[in-house]
Structure 1
């Protein structure tokens, strides 16, 4: 996406005005105001908005996927919790920035796929508060998911609880930091998740992503050419990003100096755009959303793809 933002790739007939910030803050604004014509948004939250509908949330999808779903590789465990692998999380208390966040959905999907762990077998302690929490905005404080235990905390308290052993494990986010220098926590994945993600990709057949690009339905209907033009622009931007920095095709958010070793495991383009190739990923997200209690029935996200790019 960066080459588009830098003006190195253009989309004919489109003039961009970019608004950037932390994903959590931007997604909170989308839920509250829906003020952007085209925007990046959480896949998990998009599934929820299709079921808990509001007139404000009338968005269609472009098959453009962003934000590598690797936040869980930063999971920290208390040194006295006796947790040796992610399979030991059954019956534990896990701190998470927001239960509805897509990074959390994919972590639970990975736990289910690799160890058969159900969401209800873990107590989830949420770090974000009030309107900062997307789950709170979408009504999960008043109508929590059935069969799942959610407890609400705050960003500072979540870190303290892990340090003091009141949580067994947690993963941080930009707005929910956890101090790693105390000697009381350690990484769950010492290899920063390389084997964890290789095992999941081999089992599930794809790599997960957190975000999808959405656009206002009214805009897509008024300008039917726009969806295809934007998809082409995003594709061109990704190709340029890969050429100018080969590490950008790496699976992880940072420390991709081993990208050449990743390629035989994860493929030439680990995060392709388009609807057809991402069908299994989107279907898994919809099933996991139901397993998590976030939605009631699995849905076909392809039905909300903008006309003109459904054959992508």
Structure 2
């Protein structure tokens, strides 16, 4: 049988590298791969549907699924996960010492809808009682001016969100004291350069994130894998083949992390860090599959709906192709 030719785009992570370099094959397919940054993949996927299989934003996928205009259907391979207490940056000269101190402050976001910010706002509300309407939000590019939302959004009237001038960036505004803080997936360059009066809200963010996991058992999902719906309609076997390849690629990455003879990552105590993660989070500390992640997905769906990004509460099952929901039965 002639193999199906498909294009695939995702970040060059250790957990996806075996797919990108061909060690983890997608059954029945010849794959043309593109290892690109997530933001670029999202833009090209959600605007132009350029790739057959692609890394997609959990937030954008949930929003388009709720609207019924999603061009991609997901598989529960969660190739990006990050705790987000580390993603809150503040002016240290404004009396902002606790999350509650953000009330009434002006906080920058690169996009209101990005997954990291949905998690951060949800955590601030659940854990500290800070509502999104308690903050004045300003949106724009972090390092380059002119950024807007990748997909149109309509927010509730009580959300104060404005676009910054086209000649300004959030990092520079934070450094200059024009805004009180910034939340996002990437650290602003002013923080990385050690600019005066710019720091993290949670100084010991690692302990804050460990404590959050102990209490909630949530390891926040950022990105998943989507397959073009029109292609799946023609080839209904494709979601399982793609999912199996991503499972294999992740297993290979974790096996390599545990190799103490020759370290796979340029860190001296990588195996120790791996064992620390397992001790806290369990052997399957980076789980794939919907049921293994149901609580996390339902929590995110609640945040997404509460923040006005999806106009109805999306059920986890709606995000994924049915054939990939329980691979053990296939």
CA 1:131–1:20 in structure 2 vs 1: closer, same or farther (change >3 Å)? farther
Is structure 2 residue 40 aligned with structure 1 residue 20? Answer: no
Aligned-partner SS, 1:15: strand
Q: Which one of the candidate residues 49, 57, 80 is aligned to 1:34? A: 49
Match of 1:118? 131
Q: 1:80 aligns with which of 93, 114, 126?
A: 93
- Residue of structure 1 aligned with 2:244, choices 212, 232, 245: 232
- Describe the superposition over 1:170-209 as per-residue Cα deviations: whole angstroms up to 9, x where unpaired: 1455696434322221222323x21222232233322111
How far is the alpha carbon of 1:112 from its aligned partner? 1.9
State the shift of 1:165 in Å: 2.1
Distance verdict in 2 for CA 1:255–1:163, change over 3 Å: farther
Number of residue equivalences = 299
Counterpart check, 1:287 vs 2:302: yes
How much does 1:286 deviate?
1.2
Aligned counterparts, 1:260-279, within 5 A: 260-279=275-294
Q: What is the alpha-carbon distance in structure 2 between the residues aligned to residue 255 and residue 169 of structure 1?
A: 34
What is the aligned counterpart of 1:91 among 99, 104, 123? 104
Counterpart of 2:262 in structure 1 is none
Larger % of strand: which? 2
Cα deviations by residue, 1:231-271 (Å, 9 ceiling, x for unpaired): 11111110110111249xxxxxx998544333322222222
CA distance in 2, matches of 1:255, 1:164: 38
Work out whether residues 91 and 174 of structure 2, in 8 Å CA contact, stay in contact via their aligned partners in 1: yes
1:70-219 alignment runs, 5 A limit = 70=83, 72-128=85-141, 132-133=147-148, 135=149, 137-140=150-153, 143-153=154-164, 156-171=168-183, 177-179=189-191, 180-191=193-204, 193-219=205-231
SS at structure 2 position matched to 1:39? strand
Distance 1:120 1:208, change over 3 A: same
Q: Which runs of 5+ in 1 are unaligned?
A: 248-253
Query: Any stretches of 5+ residues in structure 2 without a counterpart?
Result: 1-15, 260-266
3-state SS of paired residue (2:310):
coil
Asked if structure 1 preserves the Cα contact closer than 8 Å seen for 2:290 and 2:316, the reply is no
1:67 is the counterpart of 2:80: yes
**Deviation for aligned residue 1:27:** 0.8
Q: TM-score, normalised by structure 2?
A: 0.82
8 Å CA contact 1:97–1:173 kept in 2: the answer is no
User: Are the aligned partners of 1:146 and 1:293 in contact in 2 as well (CA < 8 Å)?
Assistant: no
**What is the root-mean-square deviation in Å for CA atoms of aligned residues?**
2.6
- Per-residue CA deviations over 1:85-132 (Å, capped at 9, x if unaligned) read 334322222112211000101111211221122211122221239984
2: CA distance between counterparts of 1:71 and 1:155?
28
- C-alpha change, 1:263 and 1:82, in structure 2 (3 Å) is farther
Distance change (3 Å), C-alpha of 1:71 and 1:273: same
1:274 is paired with a residue whose SS is: coil
TM-score scaled to structure 1, two decimals? 0.86
**Contact map agreement 2:61 2:319 (CA 8 A) in 1:** no
